[in-house]
């Protein structure tokens, strides 16, 4: 009877300690918080007007090699998952039309955090606008990037920007 009582007492103490660990920084599920989505300010830039220099005799081959996908319409979800050796940043793009392709997360500032903020741009090529409205499920696409522990050192906020909004995830 004495062994049973002491075993119950020890197990009760161990289980009560689990409650305090669930909210601590030692729990890997608490390393990143929930993502928040916020609108961004429009820069009044027309994407159809080229901003680069070069005239009619510019090298066309170099221009084709430098094609960069435009920003996706909006970010609908941002998830940062802890994986061995770093983190997996996964963003869901919501396009205006069906058929977006080559969806990617492009690092800003060569992937170097500025003031503790690691910023990525969500980019995607889009197909011409269709006539039939499609559900959101058909217009969403996922892009992900792996970031190492060394790249995450000093990062407090991860931000993913799109054309109309941005999503952020804070590190606890």
Q: Is residue 111 part of a domain?
A: yes
Please indicate, yes or no, whether residues 112 and 83 belong to a single structural domain of this protein: yes
pTM for this predicted structure: 0.64
Q: Is residue 149 part of a domain?
A: yes
Question: How many domains are contained in the chain?
Answer: 2
Q: Is residue 49 part of a domain?
A: no
Give the residue numbers spanning the domain of 11.
1-27
Pairing of strands 157-161, 117-125: parallel
Distance of CA 49 to the CA centre of its chain: 28
Paired with 81 in beta bridges are: 88
Please indicate, yes or no, whether residues 23 and 100 belong to a single structural domain of this protein: no
Please indicate, yes or no, whether residues 17 and 64 belong to a single structural domain of this protein: no
Contacts of 102 (CB under 8 A, 6+ apart): 69, 123, 124, 125
pLDDT in tens, 36-88: 777 766 667 666 666 666 566 556 655 555 567 888 889 999 999 999 999 99
pLDDT for res 9: 78
């Amino acid at each position: 009877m004495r062994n049973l009582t002491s075993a119950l007492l020890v197990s009760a103490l161990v289980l009560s300690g689990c409650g305090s660990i669930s909210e601590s920084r030692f729990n890997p599920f608490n390393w990143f918080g929930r993502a928040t989505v916020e609108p961004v300010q429009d820069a009044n830039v027309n994407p159809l007007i080229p901003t680069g220099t070069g005239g009619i005799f510019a090298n066309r081959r170099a221009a084709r090699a430098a094609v960069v996908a435009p920003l996706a319409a909006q970010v609908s979800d941002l998830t940062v998952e802890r994986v061995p050796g770093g983190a997996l940043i996964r963003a869901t793009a919501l396009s205006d039309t069906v058929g977006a392709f080559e969806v990617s997360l492009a690092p800003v500032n060569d992937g170097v955090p500025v003031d503790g903020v690691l910023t990525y741009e969500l980019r995607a090529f889009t197909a011409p606008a269709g006539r039939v409205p499609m559900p959101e499920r058909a217009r969403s696409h996922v892009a992900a990037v792996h970031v190492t522990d060394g790249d995450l050192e000093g990062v407090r906020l991860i931000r993913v920007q799109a054309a109309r909004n941005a999503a952020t995830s804070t590190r606890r």
